[in-house]
Each structure stands twice: as C-alpha cells, then as structure tokens.
Amino acid sequence: MQEILKALDPRGLFNDVQRAPLAPRPETLAGKTVYIINSWPGDSHGFGEVEKALDAYLREKYAGVRLEYRTRMSYSSDDPPLWAEMKEKADCFVYFAAPSCSTTACAVTWPARRIERMGVPGLTVLYRYLENDALISREREGMQIRFAETEFPCTDISEADLKKLLGEIEDALLSPLKPEELISGPYTPPQPDRFCAEGTEDELQEYFQANGLTDGLPVIIPTEERVAEMLKGTSHAPEEIVAAQMAPEGRIVTVEKAAITAVMAGAKPEYMPVILAMIELMGTDQRHHQTAKSTNAFSFMQVVNGPIRKEIGMNDSVCALGPGGRANAVIGRAHRLAFINLGGSEVGVNLMGVMGNNSCYTFAFAENEEASPWEPYSTSLGFKAGESVLTILTGGWAHIGNYMLNPSLDDFYRSIKTFEMLHGITILLSPLRAKELLEETGCRTRKEIEDYFWNRITVTEGELKGRRLYARPRPDPSQGPVTDDTVMHLFARNQINVIVVGDPQGSNVVQGWSQYSPHSTSIDKWR
C-alpha cells in the first residue's frame, strides 16, 4: 500500500491589486479626436482592413471626427511621450493588438496603467483566441479594460462580421460605464493554500498533471519534509521574498516557494543558490514578462560561471548542452517549472507558442573556464574573478553551426545573417575551436574575440531591404549618405557573446544561437 503524502502548493503568491474605474465615455464622437494605436508597424498585426473600415465608418457617421494614427515601435515598453500627447489631444482611443500573446497582454496593460488612468477612454481590439491572456492581464491590472474581438486571421472577415465588429468598437467608446467598471480601491486576490493536495505518489502525480503544475514530465512531490531538506541549501529564511514580480504574471516568490520548485525539478540542496539567482532574475528583468508568453516561444539560456560549477557538478565538457548531467538538467528544468507555477504560465491561456520550443524544457550549462583561452564570460560582464555568477540570455528559436569545415567561418557568418531578429547572438565555441581562433587571430581577451566576430558579421543596406526586422541596425550618419552598398554591423557591439563550452578533447565545433540581452546576478549572495 502506497504512503499517503501531502504536497505543498507550488504556485506563487498574488500581489495586491489597486483597482481603478474606467475613464468616462463621451456622448458622441462628433468633433472628437480618436487615437488609433497599432502594436506593430505596417499591417503586420493583421487589422489593416478593419482600420480602413473603421476610419470610413466614423468619418461618415460623426461630423468633424479626427483620427490620429500612432504605431508602437516597441509594444512592451512604456512610452511617456505618447501618453502625454494623448492626455493633451485625445478624446478616446482604439488600441489594436496583434496575433501575439505577449503583444495582446501589453495592449491591455498600457491602456490600464497609463491611458485610461489619465482620463482618456477607449478599448482594445484583439483576436478571440487570445482572449484568456487578455482577461488575465485585465485582472492583474485592476481595470476592466473593454475589448472588441474577432477571429484570426481577419483579412477575409465577412461583411456581416465586420459590421458587427465596428458596432462593438463604437459601443465600447460611447456606452456608459457599468457598475463593475466603476470599482476602485485595493483588492487582495485569494492566495493558494499551503498544501494543494493529499494522496498517494501516483495520485499526486496525476493531480499535478491534471492541474497544469508540471512541464508534462513527472515531478518529485514537494512534501514538507523534502522542502525542509532543500531549504538547507541556503542561509536565507523561508519567508524572504526572492522576486516581487515573477514573470510572466508578476507574482510573489518566497525562498520556500523556490525550494518547492527545486524539489519538483529533482534538485539537490546545494543547487539552491543557483535556482534562487534564476528566480531573482526572472522577477527583476521586465523583458522576461513578455518573452515568457510570446507566440514565438522564446527559450532562455542559463550560463553558470565560477567555483559553484565544480561544487555542484555542473557539466561544462562532453555533451554539456545535452542529456546526462543532473545539475544542468535540473537547473534548466527548474527555470521552466518556475515560470509555470511561480509566475503563472499556462498553456492555452498565456503560453501560446504556435509551435513551442524544445529548448524550453531545459537549457543550462557551465562555461568551461579551464579550457578557455580567455577570461571567464562573467568577468567580461563586470563580475569579479572567482565569483559564482548566473547569466540568463533570451531568444532561442534559431541556431546554426556544428562542424564548420570552412576554417574562415564564412559559411557561419552567412548563416547568421539569415536570423530574423537582429537583437544579438551567442557564439558557443568548443575548446579546440577557441584555441584555433586564438592562434589565427591573436585575440587574447574576450572583448577582442567578440570584436573580431562583430567586424565580420556585416550586411549592406541593400541586403536588408524587404526584411521585417525588430531591431534594424543603422550606420553612423557621420559616415555619409546611406546607399544600397552601405555596409553596417548586423548587431550592436554589446550583443555579441562568446562562450567556451564542450569537450577539450573533441573537435572544432561552433554553434551560433539567437540568444541575446544577457542579464546576470551573483549566485554567492544566495548561499
């Protein structure tokens, strides 16, 4: 007969919500200024035909109505100049989202945090299949932002459905506020209980699966005794807050909640400082709140430097990016479980990757500092030699390389230029490839070898034409006019990351990952 276990609840805690009423609606749009906000440039959001129809509809029905079009170049960032302009000039707004989970969340967030709170009324237009994500964002922000929804794609929307959508937009702009839209004041959402379930090992495995509390794989059931043992891996108190705004839904994570995640992932107590550092980063870098739920299905590369690599047995050598190393696998997996339980990531709700990404399961490794001809990666980011450091990079849906038989790496550079998002690249070098590059280039520091790559990953203006890029590089204007032959660097200088990892006895392998924007923290402070 199986033992009856009680499982601690792995979910993060909810922050208090400061609720606020919607802005009052005008009685008419005649003579009013309506701001049309697009989340993405051009018609890439797919609402172009709807916008044209809305423009004609409003101009025909309301005399003197003025429509001002603005495009968000970064849908996830705050935009104080735009909000100030709207406060001065806008009577109301229509905010078009996009076929993107993270963009839809932001199309609710910014109206709630900025536009409606400064007195400008409006609504968000979104795709129906992303409604649950919008509802979560609305609840988190404490304001009942109005929606108008349509099916995706809406490029072939029927005349009847278009007419209905335009009517819903009009109604959302003009209809008086309902009682639930006038609520204000603080609100504390119901918090998870200390224990979530009781039963046999098999029953609890089924419970965790059925309630979306795992990554699809079995977990170690987080009993009170197992979590207490895990807490021995850090000197920090169980109730201490590690993250006040854990991605993607901004939840509170204590040391004990982190220990529950560590148990579920299969960690040893000595892994705790690394896992705590990871949760700290996931709760302080706002980029992770959007990338964690993107339809692009981003993944996150975790790189560990310093003495703790050896202390906990992290693999930096043979198959470091593959299976077989417990510390690597568990630390990588803990990252995904933290998103799910501590941050509130839920497949089909706010985790809407069109295809998903297998590197989301586990992607953590240590740099092979001993086999590297350059200083540790962490010291190039400003940390001291001998300090244990965790770095998390974002991206992960594309990678190139392996055996690059062309010694000049010309094929490697050409492949890198096909990356769609030009935010940066992480180049992983096997020890032999790093040694060969040292001998070939004479680059004796990490900055020198990163500059070496940076200067060879270039494109012309003509090559870039016609490509939809999120971060379009620009040449130095002091160098003269831009022509199709103008050569520019593909990435910003600080977005070339070179890391040495792999078997010192192995061949000259190189990989280029679409991973960028390193964000680091000390592991030692979590011991």
- Residue 9 in domain: no
Is the pLDDT at 284 greater than 90, yes or no?
Answer: no
Write out pLDDT tens, residues 175-234. 999 999 999 999 999 999 999 999 999 999 999 999 999 999 999 999 999 999 999 999
Whether residue 272 sits in one domain with residue 145: no
Whether residue 61 sits in one domain with residue 39: yes
- Name the percent of the chain lying above pLDDT 70: 95
3-class DSSP state of 465? coil
- Residue 373 in domain: yes
Instruction: Mark residue 194 as left, alpha or beta (left: phi above 0; alpha: psi -120 to 50; beta: remaining).
Output: alpha
- Name the percent of the chain lying above pLDDT 90: 76
- Residue 190 in domain: no
Whether residue 239 sits in one domain with residue 215: yes
Whether residue 257 sits in one domain with residue 122: no
- Could you please report the per-residue DSSP string of 53-67? HHHHHHHHHSTT-EE
pLDDT at 470: 46
Q: Which domain holds residue 62?
A: 18-185
Indicate the residue among 154, 185, 216 that finishes a domain: 185
- Residue 161 sits in a domain whose CATH number is 3.40.50.2300
The Cα–Cα gap between 334 and 262 comes to 6
Per-residue three-class SS string for 327-365: HHHHHHHHHHHHHHHHCCCCECCCECCCCCCHHHCCCEE
Better-predicted residue by pLDDT, 348 or 406:
348
Whether residue 348 sits in one domain with residue 254: yes
Task: Give the total number of structural domains in the chain.
Answer: 2
Indicate the residue among 151, 185, 219 that finishes a domain: 185
The Cα–Cα gap between 185 and 116 comes to 16
Whether residue 179 sits in one domain with residue 231: no
- Residue 82 in domain: yes
Write out pLDDT tens, residues 72-84. 988 888 999 999 9
